[in-house]
Amino acid sequence: MTLRLGDTAPNFEQQSSEGKIHFYDYLGDSWGVLFSHPADFTPVCTTELGLTAKLKDEFAKRNVKVLALSVDDVDSHERWIEDINETQGTSVNFPILADSDRKVSDLYGMIHPNANDTLTVRSVFVIDPAKKVRLTLTYPASTGRDFNEILRVIDSLQLTEQHKVATPGNWQQGEDVVIVPALQDEEEINRRFPSGYRAVRPYLRLTEDPSKQTA
């Protein structure tokens, strides 16, 4: 199955390191990050899960719940978590799905036969509170993910969800944003962006982060 942006994220039930997960119930009204790993006790995955645990507060302040996945079973996950905690100086604080039957992997297209027909690649899905897929990323097994980039994209998605703006390349939270070209009515622009804007070109109009602007 190939999921595209805007598709409804498939619901599922699956065992995990923290008991059975009912995916929609687990997310509730939160945003979600579902990400997969080739296998337990792999070096790059160990660093990624440790980093994710350390970013708990960053995910929480964005109303994001994280959920990892590996095709190994719960017993293996529990042993691996001990290694992660010890080697990464943290405590894993989110569930790891035990997808030994590959039910979730197949639902989300996480298995790529050209790489390996049994192991999941490094897939990432960002899912909004309406259960829509808002971002997909796929990394090769040799390359660890940049979780600061995942947080940056979530910041952009959440800001642009509320305001008629887009975020420029390399944008970071709090920096100037772009007014979407579809917004042309000057009265509405002035109402939405009371601090004004700078027109570099008619199609390129920059304004202060609208969450900071007050009328």
Distance separating alpha carbons of residues 51 and 12, to the nearest angstrom = 26
- Cβ 72 vs Cβ 14: under 8 Å: no
- DSSP track, 68-97: EEESS-HHHHHHHHHHHHHHHTS---S-EE
- Count the Cβ atoms, other than its own, within 10 Å of residue 8: 11
* Torsion sign (Cα): 52, 30, 176, 137: positive
The yes-or-no answer on residue 22 being catalytic is no
Distance separating alpha carbons of residues 19 and 23, to the nearest angstrom = 12
**Residue 173 in tokens:** 């939270």
Catalytic residue chosen out of the listed positions 27, 45, 71, 178: 45
**Residue 28 in tokens:** 């509730």
Would you name the residues annotated as active-site residues? Answer: 45
